[in-house]
Structure 1
Amino acid sequence: MRAFVITAPGEAGVREVEPPEPRPGEVIVAVERVGVCGTDMELFSGTMSYLHTGQAAYPLRIGHEWAGAVCATGDGVDPSWLGRRVTGDTMLGCGRCARCAAGRGHVCADRYEIGIRGGRPGALAGRLPVPVTALHPLPEPVGPALGALVEPGGNAMRAVRSAELSAGERLLVLGPGTIGLLVAQIAAARGVEVHLLGLTASSLAFARSIGFEHVWTRETLPGLRYDAVVDASNAPGLPALAVDLVEPGRRVVFVGLAGTPSLVDSRAVALKDVTVVGVLGASAGLAETVELYASGAVDPRPLVAATVALDEVAAVLAGRRRPDWGDAPKIHVDPRR
C-alpha cells in the first residue's frame, strides 16, 4: 500500500509499504481522511521533543487525526466491527500499569501514540492497525471530515471541561488556531462568552468569519474579567500572560505547547489562588466530541481549508499553502487519492 514516510528532518515522500495484518485484539481501518497538525510539522522539521528523547525516531509514519471504516479484524475481535465507520484514540497505554488501571493510560510511561511515539504507524496510508479498545464508532451524521476532527476536538473538549465555566461566564482563548477555535466553538455551544486573542490579521479575520465577535490583539484586548483563560498557542510568553489575565480564584488551562520553555511566576499563581491545568491528548474527550458533532451543536468543518492527496503532504508540512485555500487553519488528507 501507499504510505507517507518521513526519513529525516525535511525529507519525506510516498512509499510502497507492506499492508498491515490484524493482530489479536486489533482491527485494520481503511483510512478515509486524516488531519495534519502542528505535531506532524514538528516531526517533519525535526524539532519535536520526542525525537530528542528517543521516544520517536526516523523513519516515521505520521497521522493521528483520522477517520475510516473497519475492513479486517484480528482474533478475539467481534466481527460486527467489520464495515463500521470509526475514529480512535491516539494514546495507547500498556494496559498493565497503575496509571492504566486508574484510567490514565494517556500518560502511561510505556504508551504508544499512533503516528507519533514508540514507532506505532500513523494514518497517512491506505490502512491503519488499531487496537479495538481504542475505537470510537462514528454515527451517520459524522462523515469523514468531522470524523478526522474528533481527535483535535477531544483535546479542546478536555480544555473546556477543565476551565469549569458556567453559561454566561467569560472565556479568553489565546491562539485562534485549530485547537483554539475548537475550544471557542465548544465553549460557545455551552453558553459561554468567548473572546479570542491572536496575532495575525488573517487568523483574526477568519475567527470573525465563523461568528466570533470578540477577537483581539494584545494591544486591543479589553481589560475585562476573564473567568478562565485557555492557552492554545505555541508562544512561550503566553502562559505567563494567561496567569496575569485570569480572574483570581479561577482556572488557566494549557493545551498548547511552545517550542522552547515557558516561564510562569509561581508567586502569581499562588497569590491569585489560580488553578492551572495541563491537557495532554484527547482520550477522555473523544466520546463526548463524537456526540457533540453528531448533534449538530458544533460544526467544525469550516476550519478545514482544503483536502489534499497523499503526495501533497510534504509541501503542507513544509508550510506551503495555495492562495485559494484561504485562512482556515486545518488541512486534511485523503490517502486514497
Structure 2
Amino acid sequence: MRAFVVTGPGRAGVEEVPRPVAAPGEVVVDVERVGVCGTDVEFFTGEMAYLHDGHAAFPMRLGHEWCGTVASVGAGVDPAWTGRRVVGDTMLGCGACARCASGRQHVCAQRTEVGIRGGRPGALAEQVAVPVTSLHALPAAVDVVAGALVEPGGNALRAAQGAALHPGDRVLVLGPGAIGLLTALFARAAQADVHLVGLDEASLAFARTLGFGQSWTWETLPDLPFDAVVDCSNAPGLPARALDLVEPGKRVVYIGLAGTPSLVDTRTVALKDVTCVGVLSASPGLAGAIEAYAQGAVDPRPLVAATVGLDAVAAVLAGDRPAGAGDGPKIHVDPRLLP
C-alpha cells in the first residue's frame, strides 16, 4: 500500500509498504481522512523532543488525527466491528500499570502513540492497524471531515473543561490556531463569553468569521477581568502572561507547548490562589467531542482549509499552502487521492 514515510529531517515521501495485518486484539482500518498538525511538522523538521530522548526514531509514519472504516479484525475481536466507521485514540497504554488500571492510559510511562511514539505506524497511509480497545464508533451525523477532527477536538474539549466554565464566564484563549479555535468553539458551547488574542491579523480575521467578534491583537486586547485563560500557543512567554491575566481564584489551562522551557512564577500562582491545569491528550475527551459534533453543539469543519493526497504532505509539512486553500488553519489528507 501507499504510505507517507519520513526518513530524516526534511526528507519524506510516499513509499510502497506492506499492508498491515490485524494482530490479536487489533483491527485494520481503511483510512479516509487524516489531519496534519504541529506535532507532525516537528517530526518533519527533526525538532520533536521524542526524537532526541529515544521515544521515536526515523523512519517514521506519521498521522494521529484520523477516521476510517474497519476493514478486518484480528483474533479475539468481535467481527461486528467490520464495516464500522471509527476514530481511534492516539495514546495506547501498556494495560498493566496502575495508571492504565485507573483510566489514565494516556500518561502510561510505557505507552505507544499512533504515528508519534514507540514506532507505532500512523494513519498517513491507505490503512492503519490499531487495538480495538482504542476505537470509538462514529455516528452517521459525524462525517469524515469532522471525524478527523475528533482527536484535536478531544484535546480542545478537555481544555475548555479544565477552565471549569459557567454560563457567562469570560474566557481568554491565547492563540487562534486549530486547537485555540476548537477550544473557543467548545467554550462558546458552554455559554462562556469568549475572547481570543493572537499575533496574526489574518488568523484573527478568520476567527471572526466563526462568530468570535472579540478577537484581538495584544495591542487591542481590552483590560478586562478573565475568569479563565487557556494558553493554546507555542510562545514560551505566554504561560506567565496567562497567569498575569487571569482573575485571582480562577483558572489557567496549559495545552500549548513551546520549543523551549516556559517559566511560571509559582509565587504568583499561590498569591493569586490560581488553579493551573495541564492537558496532554485527547483520550478522556474523545467521546465528548464525538457527541458535541453529532449533536451540532460544535461544528469544527470550517477549520479545514484544504484536502490533499499523500503526495502533497511533504510540501504541507514544509509550510506550503495548497493551491486554492481556504482561510482555516487545518489541512486534511485523503490517502485515497492519487496525484
The bucket for the TM-score relative to the shorter chain is over 0.9
Equivalent runs, 1:107-122 vs 2, <5 Å: 107-122=107-122
Give the aligned partner of residue 72 of structure 1.
Answer: 72
C-alpha offsets along residues 66-92 of structure 1, whole Å, 9 cap, x if unaligned? 000000000000000000000010000
Provide, for residues 184-240 of structure 1, a one-character-per-residue CA deviation record: whole Å limited to 9, x for no partner.
Answer: 001101110000001001111000011101011111111111000000001111100
1:46 aligns with 46
Counterpart in 1 of 2:136?
Answer: 136
SS in 1 for 2:324: helix
Cα separation, 1, equivalents of 2:92 and 2:296: 29
Deviation at 1:323, TM superposition (A): 5.5
Please, which runs of 5 or more residues in structure 1 have no aligned partner?
Answer: none
2:162 maps to what in 1? 162
For these two proteins, the number of residue pairs brought into alignment is 337
State the distance in 1 between where 2:24 and 2:72 align: 11
1:105-126 per-residue CA deviation (whole Å, 9 max, x = no partner) reads: 1010100000000000000001
CA distance in 1, matches of 2:301, 2:272: 38
1:270 corresponds to: 270
The code of the aligned residue for 2:192 comes to V
Q: CA deviation at 1:322?
A: 3.4
* TM-score scaled by length of structure 1: 0.99
| Contact residue 316 and residue 322 of structure 2 kept, 8 A | no
Deviation string 1:27-51 (CA, Å, 9 cap, x unpaired) is 0000000000000000000000000
Q: Aligned partners of 2:81, 2:102: CA distance in 1, in Å?
A: 27
TM superposition outliers: structure 1 runs of 4+ over 6 Å:
none
> What letter corresponds to residue 41 of structure 1 in structure 2?
V
What does residue 201 of structure 1 align with?
201
Q: Which position in structure 2 is the counterpart of 1:227?
A: 227
Report what 1:61 is aligned to. 61
SS in 2 for 1:324: coil
1:78 is aligned with what amino acid? D
SS of alignment partner, residue 293 of structure 1: helix
Indicate the residue corresponding to 1:172 in structure 2: 172
Structure 2 gap segments, 5+ residues each: none
Once residues 14 and 114 of structure 1 are traced to their aligned partners in structure 2, the CA distance between those partners, rounded to angstroms, is 18
* Distance in structure 2 (CA, Å) of the matches to 1:323 and 1:79: 42
Partner of 1:316: 316
**Counterpart-to-counterpart distance in 2, 1:9 and 1:236:** 23
Report the TM-score when normalising by structure 2. 0.99
Q: Distance in 2 between matches of 1:186 and 1:103?
A: 23
After TM superposition, give the deviation of residue 244 of structure 1 in Å: 0.2
Q: Residues 244-259 of structure 1: matches in 2 within 5 Å? A: 244-259=244-259
Q: What SS does structure 1 have at the residue aligned with 2:122? A: coil
Cα deviation code 1:115-157 (max 9, x no counterpart): 0000000000011001000000000011111100000000001
Q: Secondary structure at the match of 1:185?
A: helix
Report what 2:325 is aligned to: 325
Alignment-derived partner of residue 98 in structure 1: 98
Aligned-residue Cα RMSD (Å) equals 0.7
Matched residues in 1 for 2:207 and 2:323: separation? 18
